[in-house]
Chains A and B, each alone.
Chain A
Amino acid sequence: MSDLKLRVKEMIIERLKLEGMTPDQIDDGIPLFGEGLGLDSIDALELVLGIEQVFGVKIEDEAAGLKAFKSVQALTDFIAEHMKA
């Protein structure tokens, strides 16, 4: 697992208080919302705030969120792309 992906998973677990869950239990390709991890709109706001705080990356609107929250892999790629910028 890449270092950044691990940090993303740790941020998700910590921010959303997914107690008892470990990073390797979160599949890279699983959708974060709906089926998959089953997150809701409140979790989405918490993630947006967590990503900004931990990685300094802003998710400006819902269109960007839709892309970034497809999966852990998509989110890691999104963060990597915007951290460089």
Chain B
Amino acid sequence: MLEIPAHLPHRYPFLLVDRVLEREPGVRVVAEKLVTMGEPYLQGHFEGHPLVPGVLLLEMLAQAGGFLEAESLHGTAIFLAGVQDARFKAPAFPGDRLRLEVTAVGAFGGLMKVRGTVSCEDRELCTARLLVKRL
């Protein structure tokens, strides 16, 4: 089993991938994030009506995309360079087990483009294409 903190530089409270279920470097990754009431951002988004901010769904996809890289990303500066055609179709709530599916579209000059889907129990919550830059 892949050690997540050994692969991604992200840490609590911003490590947003709990498990990697399937992984084919350079091609496709399926990961998982269990949303709990303990997530700090849920206190204020929104008081009494906790739901995961859409931008964090994109961040989850970007972090899952980090596992497309064969090597560990430690010591690597990696950041989001673009978001295209993001759609938020339904909200994610505490208790949801989110499936993060990321497929590589292509790469050139240190930039990688991926297509991602966040789903929960076969319902699509979010789809987007992301550009990730490595330095």
Contacts and interface: CB of A to CB of B under 8 A. Distances in A.
Chain B at the A interface: mostly helix, strand, loop or mixed?
strand
Interface string A31-71: 00000000001101100110010000001001001000000
What class of interface size applies to chain A in its complex with B? 10 to 19
Given A41-B111, A42-B82, A42-B111, A49 B106 contact: yes
Nearest to B131: A42
A52 B106 CA distance: 10
A37 B96 CA distance: 46
B110 interface: yes
Interface of B: 81-82, 105-111, 113, 131, 133
25 contacts: A41-B109, A41-B110, A41-B111, A42-B81, A42-B82, A42-B131, A44-B108, A44-B111, A45-B106, A45-B108, A45-B109, A45-B111, A45-B113, A45-B131, A48-B106, A49-B105, A49-B106, A49-B108, A49-B113, A52-B106, A59-B108, A62-B108, A62-B109, A65-B108, A65-B109
